[in-house]
Amino acid sequence: MSLLTDVPSPARPYWEAPPKSRVGDTDPTQIYLNVGVALSNWANVEGIFAMLFTLFIDARTRGAARVFGSIGGLMGKVDALKAATGAAFFQRGVSLEDGKDWNLLLEHYREATSRRNEIAHGMVMGYRIEDEERGSFLVPAYNTKKSNPFWMNEAADDFLDRVGQYRYTSGDIAYLSNKFRELRDWAVRFHIAYSAKYSAPTP
């Protein structure tokens, strides 16, 4: 029996950024609130992946979770998880099917991190174009790679891409925040199923 069911595959389309809205929030407070909720949900995602790392290396203390948390950058964490599962899955005889479930979950983690970073490093700005109030959005700061070095025309977008590669409303952020919570739930399910199916190896 598979360790995970009903998890979208492949992962990348599931984590595509919402399309840019032409109308933002009239009250920017809603954006600030939803950013806080989204980042809180993401902290739970990081927490359960730290627990999985602890499980894979057979750690008996919470120190392993703190080690995982101290790893800088997404790829460092992904490499640590791959190294841990490379040994653990061999020792415990993890099936090919269950290994594929883990790889799918890890791919969701990788893809979701891009959306998390946009929310964490964005700034709230209000826009008025041709004397029309367009509301407030979460957009990339100019000093990030997510912004454009100059204005660029986009078809059917009179913002002229002033705000870079994403333009989120509070609704967009809430949508992604709910997906972070789904990712956490998938990881929890994997942790429970893996723990039940594969006992600790005999020394």
CA 108/CA 40 separation, integer angstroms: 18
Do 104 and 91 form a contact (C-beta atoms < 8 A)?
no
Of 15-24, 137-146, 160-169, which has the strongest mean pLDDT?
Answer: 15-24
- Cβ neighbors of 46 (< 8 A, separation 6 or more) are 69
pLDDT reading at 144 higher than 80: no
pLDDT mean over 88-114: 95
pTM of model > 0.85: yes
Distance of CA 47 to the CA centre of its chain: 13
Category of 129 on φ-ψ map: left (φ > 0), alpha (ψ -120 to 50) or beta: beta
Estimate the share of the chain in helix, then strand, then coil, as percent rounded to the nearest 5: 55, 10, 35
pLDDT in tens, 30-87: 999 999 999 999 999 999 999 999 999 988 878 888 888 888 888 889 999 999 999 9
Say what the pLDDT of residue 162 is.
56
